[in-house]
Amino acid sequence: MAMKTTLDISDNLLRRAKKLAREESLTLRTLVEEGLEMVLRSREQRKPYKVKPVVLRGKGLSPEFRQASWADIRKAAYEGRGG
């Protein structure tokens, strides 16, 4: 079943699409459907981006910072740096 719809397409893109459709003996509808199908298939095949965790091989925070607030840790990190 086909549905009718209206699209706003830039003049330049429409001219190019009509020219290609004529050259390949296609209807504009066929060309639009092929293009949409290509874009949809491409996007459906994308893998979701996963953030890789950063793992450091340390032993966590040093003892003096294990119970410290973030503000205390930040203050110590910038101590003596004019910040």
pLDDT digits (tens, 9 = 90+) for 12-29: 999 999 999 999 999 999
pLDDT digits (tens, 9 = 90+) for 25-49: 999 999 999 999 999 999 998 888 8
Residue 28 lies in a domain: yes
Residue 35 lies in a domain: yes
- How far is 34 from 39, CA to CA, in rounded Å? 9
Residue 15 lies in a domain: yes
Residue 36 lies in a domain: yes
Summarize the confidence of residues 47-74 as an average pLDDT.
85
Residue 61 lies in a domain: no
- Mean pLDDT for the chain? 90
**Domain ranges, residue 39:** 11-45
When pLDDT is cut at 50, 70 and 90, the band that residue 61 belongs to is confident
What domain count does the chain have? 1
Residue 17 lies in a domain: yes
Backbone angles phi, psi at 68, to 5 degrees: -80, 155
Task: Confirm if 65 and 73 have CB atoms less than 8 A apart.
Answer: yes
User: Burial level of 46, CB count in 10 A (0-12/13-18/19+)?
Assistant: exposed
Residue 80 lies in a domain: no
> What pLDDT score was predicted for residue 83?
55
Task: Confirm if 43 and 58 have CB atoms less than 8 A apart.
Answer: no
